[in-house]
Structure 1
């Protein structure tokens, strides 16, 4: 399955991320070509509240129309981490929300687009490195 992306969204993402997503969807055995929504979940099977590891991450893409053709756009890219004690829960750590044009961090709350841009760049650069290290198992869901 090959996707066409709307690259004119509020936040830019590295070209490498588009390639990673496209490569992952090529690996899907039975892609749903007409899917309105695609969710990609990246999980480190060894991540736990006690041992640490690489945070799970979720990317939601939605089909829309841009310049007269169907394209996929980012809705969010969300990183989760275990927080709290004595019973840690998996919560949103960093959320890049393309709809609200804001970035959220568990330690700083919602940042405006300008303030969140630097965090988003570091976050995505790290994520791309982790994918290249092959630390994640990936699950793709279509709606």
Structure 2
């Protein structure tokens, strides 16, 4: 998890998913860069968008990550959701992958929900997170917004 420095870095509580330090640091970085600072809020949503993503053109799926601070001032992940266009002839943006930490539930489009602690889910999460972080470091998301 991120270490404290002179700036107010967010400390994340461990959760049922193997969330890496790299993801925690990336989330913290985008929260720290947001203006005005959203840290006075107890819950934050970070949206990652590729403005070129479209139903026909493809691109990088939008991702939304929600974090929340509890009464003890500890931050934890609420959910990590990956969206994709689905359907035709008028495709709509829908939830494709959802890691709902608060409800201990994993959903993937067209599959039955599963608990997050299921081995297949944690292994899938590791691959998903690794890909997401590579896309992020490659600059695939040109619109990153932090909101309270």
TM over 0.5: yes
Which is richer in strand?
A: 1
Report the number of matched residues. 138
Structure 1 position 3 matched with structure 2 position 13: no
Give the Cα separation in 1 of the matches to 2:106 and 2:130.
15
Q: Which residue of 1 aligns with 2:75?
A: 72
Q: Which runs of 5+ in 2 are unaligned?
A: 1-7
Report if aligned partners of 2:48, 2:62 keep a CA contact under 8 Å in 1.
yes
Q: Which runs of 5+ in 1 are unaligned?
A: none
Superposition deviation, residue 45 in structure 1:
0.4
Structure 1 position 131 matched with structure 2 position 129: no
Deviation string 1:4-53 (CA, Å, 9 cap, x unpaired) is 1112x121201100010111112112113321110000000000000000
Q: Which residue of 2 aligns with 1:120?
A: 125
- If the length of structure 1 is used for normalisation, what is the TM-score? 0.91
- SS state of the match for residue 74, structure 2? strand
Give the Cα separation in 1 of the matches to 2:67 and 2:25.
14
Superposition deviation, residue 103 in structure 1:
1.2
Superposition deviation, residue 117 in structure 1:
1.2
Structure 1 position 110 matched with structure 2 position 110: no
Give the Cα separation in 2 of the matches to 1:51 and 1:76.
27
CA RMSD of aligned residues (A): 1.2
- If the length of structure 2 is used for normalisation, what is the TM-score? 0.88
Deviation string 1:114-137 (CA, Å, 9 cap, x unpaired) is 131122111111111100001112
Instruction: Select the residue among 85, 93, 100 that pairs with 2:103.
Output: 100
Q: Which residue of 2 aligns with 1:88?
A: 91
Superposition deviation, residue 107 in structure 1:
2.8
